Structure formats: structure tokens, C-alpha cells
Amino acid sequence: MGSDWPEVALGSVTTWLSGGTPNKATPSFWNGNIPWISANSMYGTRFNDSDLRITESGLDAGSRLAPTNSVLLLVRGGALHNRLPVGMACRDLAFNQDVKALITDPAKLDPWFLLYWLIGNERFLLDVVVEETGIGAGKLDTKRMQALPIRLPPMALQQRITQVAQSIDNKIDLNRRINQTLEAMAQAIFKSWFVDFDPVKAKIAAKQEGRDVLRTAMSAISGKSETELDALPPEQYEQLATTAALFPDEMEELELGGIPKGWAFNSVGDVAKFANEKVDVSALNEDIYISTENMLENRAGVTRATSIPSVAAVPSFKTGQILVSNIRPYFKKIWMARFDGGRSPDVLAFEPEVPQSSEFLYNLMYQDAFFEFMTRTAKGAKMPRGDKDAIMGWKFPCPDEVLMTCFSEKVRPNYTYIESLISENRSLIELRDTLLPKLLSGELSVHAVAEHAGAQ
């Protein structure tokens, strides 16, 4: 039984390391080979990489290395309002000052057991050791946390408990990686069609060289050779030819730069409008309320809200609208709504003017260029907010409505599958988080879980 396991202070079986940030104005510190973990990188339970990487000189100048199998824990940031970001360093990683690296005493505490102890006690820890800083971020009281008691089963049992949780996390991690690939595929198509103009440039080159213009564009769009095009089923071939025909075979120079002939430099306001309907709060729950707190950074979607506001009504959103957090736009919080619900006034909802073009609008606003513009034109220093007029005025090379809809139809299956995997992960996380407290306390034996799984 768990009551027979020895109880020790967490700090007595862990060493806590602090990180740091190299000077961001020094180019030689950045774009290296060492992943650098900050709040933006802390999603999931396994850390292998990050958007930002530092060099060896950057590590020496301001950061610190967390060794493989150390547990990384966020100790400061807005995410601490509703979750406890924590994960395992699956390779040597650098980390910033908002993160602590916890190294376990290998004779007493398995690092994976510590990870799942933190996950299994998330709600308790958020209530007990997280305090409000007054600047929109939460702060974890590390001294109080180090004093917390932790019960330690024998090492062999610790490892069997972690194997149960790891088997669930393996599937969660796989689903997340599949979703990242699907998202990247949609963005790659968007960039090829609407940023790099690959089909148009292929047509121009084919025309100059006397080759078949349409088939060259078909190859550019599909990535298939001439021989592979001929092997396509007739229906697929015709669909590809129809798409290729939508692209012009000339470029033209306008004041803002060169774009495909017939396109225009339009603004966001030409293809979308702000949604402005309301919904009664009595019709909402935590599953369908979106605020800037439960929108995830770095375009990672949304999570479940921890509460809903105590007001009569809030702005609403509809399936297919694009939600963007208007606070601190450099966090790049964006989500394409998959259900109807309510939102905070600080979350902007964009409704596409062209029906069935939500995916085009989402991929347009997903770009770094959009968030960089939004950040550059934001108002306020401590808590910058996007300027709605400036946002609606952001210009981009805009195709006709037919091509916008064509792109949306092409990538829509990606997002349907992404949503199905997100739903599956919610169920898996719920299962893991239901099992963990019982396993960690000894209420449920690993043997009983294995027998139940075998019976399924």
C-alpha cells in the first residue's frame, strides 16, 4: 500500500538548476545547434527541440544546460494560470530563467516517476505553490514546492508505474507529431501558392522554354513528374488540371512588389470582418469558452478553460472563424474554431467574407509576417494589444475567390484529421490523469491496470 512507502521532502531528492537567456542582440549567441527551452516550447511531456536554438558561446554567456532525463518545470509565466507546464529533457537542452531543471537522486527517485508525480498532482500544485505576480503571469514558489512531501515506492515499482503512463504518452506524442506534420503540409502549400508563387513561376518558365504550360504547373503543384502525372487516375488528373488552370502565367509589378497578374495587394479587411455577436454566459461551460489564458502560445491551439467570467454575456464565435489573442501578439496565439462558443473580448474573432475559405484565412494569419506586423503596430508597453484598424489594414498578395476556396478545400481534410487526433488526445490525457493519482498513491496497482488493459 502507498501508506507504507517512505515520505520525504521533494527538495531532499532533487537538485534544482536555474537557466538564463543569452543577449538577444548578439547574433553569435543564436541560431546554433542547442535547443533552448522557454515557456513557448513547453507543450507535451517530452522536449527534444525548440523554435529557438543557441550556440555554445550563447550557452556560456547566459544560459545553462539541462542534462538528458532532467525534468523541466515552468516556474514563471501566464500558462501557470491554468496548467503546470512540465516535461522530460530527452536530450541535453538549454533553458531560460522562467524554467527550472530538476535532477533526481538516482538511488531514490526515477526522473520519469517525478515527471508523472508532478502531472498527477497538477491541480494541487497550482492551488498550493503558484502565486499571482500582478503582471499577468503566475509564479511558482520553489521553496514551498521543495518542502512538499512525496511518497517514494521502491525503484522497481516507480519504473513500472511510469511505464503505464509512458504507454499512454507515447500515443499522445505520436498524435501531436502527426498534427504538426499535417499543419506544416498545409502551410507549405500556402507558401508555395501564395507567397512564393511556384505554380505561376513554373508556367512562366514553361512558356519561355516552349513546354506545356498547364502540365508544368500541375507538376509544380503536385510534386509529380510528367510520367507520374500520366499514371494518375482520370478524376485526379482532371482535378489537378483544374487547379493548375486557376493560376496566371504572368507576373506584374505593383507599388508593393511583384505579384501574379490579376491578383491584388488586398488587406485583411477585404477578406474578413470582425465577428461581433454575443452569447449568454449561462449557455457556456469551460469546454467552449476561449480566453487569452487558454489559448496556447506559438500557434499550438487551445486548451480547456479553468473558469468562465461572471458577467451576463460575452462575445461569441462560430465554427470556421479564426480566433487570435489580441494581448501580447508576439506569443502567436491563433486557432481555427472547430465548434461554437464564447470568448474573452481580448480574443479577436475573424469571419471570412468568402464562404468556405476559413482555411485560407487561417493559413494567411498563421504566418510569422502577420504576427510580426501585429506586434509592430500594437499599442501599449507592458501589455501590448493589437491595433484593430492596423490589423485590418495589413496587406498581402490576394488571389481571386475561386483560388482561395480551392486551397481551403485542398487542405480541409488535414484539419478534419487534426481535430480527430486532438479529440483522441483529450481522451488519452483524461485517462492518464485519472490513473496517475491512484497509481501514485498505491490505491490502484500496476498489475490491476495491466489486467484491465489486457481485457480490452
> SS3 for the chain, per residue?
CHHHCCEEEHHHHEEEEECCCCCCCCHHHEEEEEEEECHHHCCCCEECCCCCEECHHHHHHHCEEECCCCEEEECEEHHHHCCCCEEEECCCEEECCCEEEEEECCCCCCHHHHHHHHHHCHHHHHHHHEEECCCCCEEECHHHHHCCEEECCCHHHHHHHHHHHHHHHHHHHHHHHHHHHHHHHHHHHHHHHHCCCHHHHHHHHHHHHCCCHHHHHHHHHHCCCHHHHHCCCHHHHHHHHHHHHCCCCCEEEECCEEEECCCEEEEHHHHEEECCCEEEHHHCCCCCEECCCCECCCCCCECCCCCCCCCCEEEEECCCCEEEECECHHHCCEEECCCCEEECCCEEEEEECCCCCHHHHHHHHHCHHHHHHHHHCCECCCCCECCHHHHHHCEEEECCHHHHHHHHHHHHHHHHHHHHHHHHHHHHHHHHHHHHHHHHHCCCCHHHHHHHHHHC
pLDDT surpasses 50 at 454:
no
> What mean pLDDT is predicted for residues 244-262?
95
* Stronger pLDDT, 50 or 93, i.e. the higher one: 93
**What pLDDT does residue 448 have?**
62
Contacts of 61 (CB under 8 A, 6+ apart): 22, 23, 26, 29
pLDDT surpasses 50 at 23:
yes
Structural domain boundaries in the chain: 2-153, 154-262+400-441, 268-398
Question: Confidence band (pLDDT; 50, 70, 90) for 44?
Answer: confident
pLDDT surpasses 50 at 25:
yes
How large a percentage of the chain has pLDDT more than 90?
Answer: 82
Say if 2-153 and 268-398 have the same CATH topology.
yes
pLDDT surpasses 70 at 432:
yes
> What mean pLDDT is predicted for residues 253-261?
94
pLDDT surpasses 60 at 70:
yes
Cell of 365: 494569419
**What pLDDT does residue 144 have?**
94
Q: Work out the widest C-alpha separation in the chain, in whole angstroms.
A: 82
- Supply the mean pLDDT for the chain: 92
* Stronger pLDDT, 348 or 62, i.e. the higher one: 348
Cα separation, 2 vs 290, whole angstroms: 39
How large a percentage of the chain has pLDDT more than 70?
Answer: 96
pLDDT in tens, 133-150: 655 678 999 999 999 999
**What pLDDT does residue 449 have?**
64
**Burial of 257 from C-beta contacts in 10 A (0-12 / 13-18 / 19+):** exposed
Cα separation, 343 vs 155, whole angstroms: 46
Read off the amino acid at residue 61.
Answer: A
pLDDT surpasses 70 at 315:
yes
**Burial of 416 from C-beta contacts in 10 A (0-12 / 13-18 / 19+):** exposed
Q: Find where cell 500594437 sits.
A: 378
**What pLDDT does residue 291 have?**
94
> What mean pLDDT is predicted for residues 201-214?
96
Read off the amino acid at residue 310.
Answer: S
**Burial of 89 from C-beta contacts in 10 A (0-12 / 13-18 / 19+):** buried
| Most confident residue range from 1-15, 131-145, 308-322 | 308-322
Beta bridge partners of 317: 341
**What pLDDT does residue 136 have?**
60
pLDDT surpasses 90 at 41:
no
**What pLDDT does residue 51 have?**
81
Cα separation, 69 vs 202, whole angstroms: 48
Contacts of 280 (CB under 8 A, 6+ apart): 312, 313
**What pLDDT does residue 82 have?**
76
> What mean pLDDT is predicted for residues 6-10?
96
Lowest mean pLDDT among 215-224, 228-237, 269-278, 376-385: 376-385
pLDDT surpasses 70 at 156:
yes
Q: Find where cell 505520436 sits.
A: 174
Q: Cα separations (Å) of 294 from 136, 201, 316, 423? A: 13, 42, 16, 16
pLDDT in tens, 401-410: 999 999 999 9
Classified by CATH at the fold level, domain 2-153 comes out as Adenine-n6-DNA-methyltransferase TaqI; Chain A, domain 2 (3.90.220)
Q: Find where cell 512588389 sits.
A: 257
Classified by CATH at the fold level, domain 268-398 comes out as Adenine-n6-DNA-methyltransferase TaqI; Chain A, domain 2 (3.90.220)
Q: Sign of torsion, CA 18 75 112 443?
A: positive
Question: Confidence band (pLDDT; 50, 70, 90) for 377?
Answer: very high
> What mean pLDDT is predicted for residues 408-419?
96
Cα separation, 391 vs 60, whole angstroms: 40
Among the listed residues 415, 422, 274, the one whose alpha carbon sits nearest the alpha carbon of residue 336: 415
Cell of 249: 502565367
> What mean pLDDT is predicted for residues 342-365?
96
